[in-house]
Structure 1
Amino acid sequence: MASGLIVDDPVSPRRAHQHRNGAYATPTRPKKNAFLHAEDPKHLELLNTLLELQAVDIENHFDLPQIIVCGLQSSGKSSVLEAITEIPFPRSENTCTRFVTKVTLRTHPEDIVEVKIEQAAGSKTSVPRFAPITNLNNLSAELQDQFERASDAILGAQQQTKFSRDTLSITISGPDRPILQILDLPGLIYHDASDQKNI
């Protein structure tokens, strides 16, 4: 696995859902973070090269930087993702991540959001095509629709698959975007076995 910062979000389920009612919400865009934004053309070129290397699976041989967001189910991981990426994520109490979501941010002259499913080896998922999202005024509704279509494709229309090795890839490009890759992992589930708590 690629090395990176692991964020275990402590936000409570109540805070994560108290004003969303199962819908997506578009956050306000904060001021540009100098730590996440590379202004030097050489830095931009280097970071873009890293993303291109990841696209050809070189991370199977070398560790590349990533941020990994993990934690218990409904613990507020989507809040962390939303704060970093500045795009809406599912917040329904009935929604839980059962596959890896990879969010790639990159600097580009035009705003565009692209969604695709990356199949795991041996996967039998029927992969739908997703139209690029260029109208960010309607981003919330369009991203919700594409996320639900992807979830149905990966887990089945009846959501019968508990967990999948397929990856939902969301690439967010724009002139004010940082260059960064984040992995949203399925929520950890506690269960009792032999009088012990196991994950």
Structure 2
Amino acid sequence: MTTPTRLLVARHGDAEYPVHGVLTDDGGWLTETGRAQATGLAAALGERGITAVCTSRMERAVQTGAVAASVLAVPARAVDGLQEYAVGDLEGVPYGDPRAQQVFDAWVAGDLDATMPGGESGVQVLERMREALDRIADDHPGETVLVFSHGGVMSMVIPRLSENVRDDLAAARFLPNCVPAEVEVSRERWRVVSWPGSMDKSTV
């Protein structure tokens, strides 16, 4: 039997952005807390035999991956398709504006045709994230790879790709920074081994 590839997919570390409290597609940058989170995660995974670190091209994920790869002494590379969903025309809108949340809630509920104003549809997000993760699995058959992506796309895509969990798994289990979901990928079959998260979003 073919040994499945194990993807440890984590949200990037805690980050800062040029303008606080608004929706943005800016890549941001790691805070000191974020660097400590990345270091702690890598140290905790030291016995897992990780062979590579892959990240989205957004700067907060790239920086998280660089910290973790240094601790693990493995290469890191950025991969197209792992980025957070684009907020499009909602750039600069306060977090409390309901429009982005309404679209995201529609995706989680199964309406993948819903589209961010001036941004992506759920179908587009799912397809590019799946392609990116499948490409990583194909490049590392039978290995264990640490992947840094983003909470929104992880929450929507990973449960939907996996055969053993509900599509809305993340609706009540919010993803913290630098705590990975473990996924087995084998012959295009996806299985969630573990899913982190809190029932209380205020703790994330």
| TM-score where L is the length of structure 1 | 0.28
Bigger radius of gyration: 1
Q: Which has the higher helix share?
A: 2
| TM-score where L is the length of structure 2 | 0.28
